[in-house]
Amino acid sequence: MRTFDSSSGAVRQGSAFSSSLAINGVNRRRFLKRIAVASGAIGLPCIIPGSALGLNGAVPPSERIVLGGIGIGGRGTGVLQWMLPERDVQFVAVCDPQKARREAVKRLVDSRYGNNDCKVYNNLIEFLAARPDIDAVLSTTGDRWHALAAVWAMRAGKDVYSEKPSSMTIAEGRMVVETAKRYGRVYQTGTQRLSEANFVFAIELAKSGRLGKIHTAYAHIAPWDAAEMRHDWLPGQPEPPKDEVDWDQWLGPCPWRPYNPEYTRGGWRGHYDFHTSCIGEWGAHTFAQAQAGLDLLDTSPVEYEYVNNPTGDGMVCRFANGVKLVLSRGDKYWHGSCGMRFDGPDGWVSVADGYSRPEVSPPSLLADFDKIVSDYIARTQRPMSHVRDFFNCIKSRRLTVANPEVMHRSMSTVHAANICMWLKRNVKYDPVKEEFIGDEEANRLRSRAMRAPYTF
């Protein structure tokens, strides 16, 4: 297993063999050159590719991050395509209970590297046990698997980039936080707008006080499905061969449900067993964005006001300092997806996907766009690339921008808002104790039973 030097960002080989080289004052490049000389002396050809020596801009194998994938479908393929061009990353294996998906990833990866080396697995436990060489995993399963896959991978010594929503319950989120801390793992949740210039500008503008003290933040929730989800299940159909779809693996920690191919094509959304609702679908992004601008990433709102509609549109969530977070389903405050807005006494800023620049009042604030973003990069040493931030943190061992605590606090907001909608009444939440105040019915919804053997 490679270990990373936090001061230089280089990778040190942890074997006794490489240690003996260091003890005898022989570095890796000098050692390889000696082999070449020795080979020539006895008349044997020895051709060492320049890539093995880090020549011509290549990253030598000893300094590459070895990456694997878990449950990579449509969204995951997009994230993987962001990762593959990174020169210090080598993707080597994928695990997925669906044969078509794991083979599609293999084709993509092999085409990228011009070889046939990407390995495929259909069982996550076997995959993690078989590949001690893998440093990190990209996990882009459905909601039901995110927390468990992350915990298992971190226990196996892997760093984790997990797509959102990264937990199904408050208890799952806390388990991710504690596991990352206990095992010293780097974790990034896929709220990539925390690493995009337009969103960073809006967040920094809100935090800087240029709009005055922010009194209200608005966060976009998905315009499909509802907060109240289905508790029935689709009619059962004959299961395909296990090699085609390992249905037990696909379900994972969820209750057993009969096989239906619609689930594996995305039809799991909107079902309580598998989904975090329209609130979790986009709130996983936008609540983190809003809480970042409010400088409240280490907590969650304490009051949630029920709204009598199917979606949670218009729900007001209040933080302990009185600042409001308002859930919005439509385009009242922005145009585009995953929007956010901050209102203060001296102005406002809003942004969503597709903006060339955020909308700001007064417009004169946009004149400082480049400076605000560049100052943020210089101060935090964060790149405007979410996947690059993850890889940099693997090498430095610092916390990512969307670290486990950021994920857990914003997802706790998602879960508490969902619980408010499910119970159809206001709820009060204590983010320190991570429990609802005087409300046993709400507290029972902080966790779910997990089906063996898919447990923590």
- Model confidence at 50: pLDDT above 60: no
Q: Is residue 366 part of a domain?
A: yes
- Model confidence at 41: pLDDT above 70: no
Q: Measuring CA to CA, which residue among 233, 150, 25 is closest to residue 404? A: 150
Largest CA distance in the chain: 84
Residue 389: count of CB within 10 angstroms of its CB: 23
Write the pLDDT tens digit of every residue in 119-148.
999 999 999 999 999 999 999 999 999 999
Q: What pLDDT does 60 receive?
A: 82
16, 33, 61 — which closes off a domain? Answer: 61
61, 85, 106 — which closes off a domain? Answer: 61
Q: Is residue 166 part of a domain?
A: no
Q: Is residue 69 part of a domain?
A: no
Find the mean pLDDT for residues 204-212: 97
Q: Which domain holds residue 13?
A: 1-61
Q: How far apart are CA 372 and CA 379, in angstroms?
A: 10
Residue 28: count of CB within 10 angstroms of its CB: 18
Q: How far apart are CA 234 and CA 264, in angstroms?
A: 12
Q: Is residue 143 part of a domain?
A: no
Residue 351: give its domain's CATH number: 3.30.360.10
Q: Is residue 66 part of a domain?
A: no
Find the mean pLDDT for residues 152-163: 98
Which band of pLDDT confidence, cut at 50, 70 and 90, is reported for residue 163? very high
Q: Is residue 206 part of a domain?
A: yes
Q: Is residue 20 part of a domain?
A: yes
In the chain, % of residues over pLDDT 70: 88
- Model confidence at 189: pLDDT above 60: yes
Q: Is residue 197 part of a domain?
A: yes
Write the pLDDT tens digit of every residue in 351-377.
999 999 999 999 999 999 999 999 999
Q: How far apart are CA 386 and CA 395, in angstroms?
A: 15
Q: What pLDDT does 62 receive?
A: 81
Find the mean pLDDT for residues 227-235: 96
Q: What pLDDT does 152 receive?
A: 98
**182 class by beta-carbon count within 10 Å (0-12 exposed, 13-18 middle, 19+ buried):** exposed
Q: How far apart are CA 153 and CA 143, in angstroms?
A: 16
Residue 171: count of CB within 10 angstroms of its CB: 16
Q: Could you give the number of structural domains in the chain?
A: 2
Mean of the per-residue pLDDT values of the chain: 91
Return phi, psi of residue 321, to 5°.
Answer: -85, 5
Find the mean pLDDT for residues 84-89: 98
Task: Give 434's contacts (C-beta < 8 A, 6+ positions apart).
Answer: 170, 174, 412, 446
Write the pLDDT tens digit of every residue in 12-34.
333 332 333 333 334 444 433 44
| 424, 283: one domain | yes
Q: How far apart are CA 427 and CA 420, in angstroms?
A: 6
Which band of pLDDT confidence, cut at 50, 70 and 90, is reported for residue 299? very high
Which band of pLDDT confidence, cut at 50, 70 and 90, is reported for residue 308? very high
- What 3 state SS string does the chain have? CCEECCCCCCEECCCHHHHHHHHCCCCHHHHHHHHHHHHHHCCCCCCCCHHHHCCCCCCCHHHCEEEEEECCCHHHHHHHHHHCCCCCEEEEEEECCEHHHHHHHHHHHHHHHCCCCCEEECCHHHHHHHCCCCCEEEECCCHHHHHHHHHHHHHCCCEEEECCCCCCCHHHHHHHHHHHHHHCCCEEECCHHHHCHHHHHHHHHHHHCCCCCCCEEEEECCCCCCCCCECCCCCCCCCCCCCCECHHHHHCCCCCCCCCHHHHHHHCCCECCCCCHHHHHHHHHHHHHHHHHCCCCCCCCCEEECCCCCCCCCCEEECCCCCEEEEECCCCCCCCCCCEEEEECCEEEEECCCCCCCEEECHHHHHHHHHHHHHHHHHHCCCCCHHHHHHHHHHHCCCCCCCHHHHHHHHHHHHHHHHHHHHCCCEEEECCCCEECCCHHHHHHHCCCCCCCCCC
| 56, 200: one domain | no
- Model confidence at 422: pLDDT above 50: yes
Pairing of strands 340-344, 216-220: antiparallel
Instruction: Please state the pTM of the whole predicted model.
Output: 0.88
Q: Measuring CA to CA, which residue among 277, 265, 261, 274 is closest to residue 142? A: 274
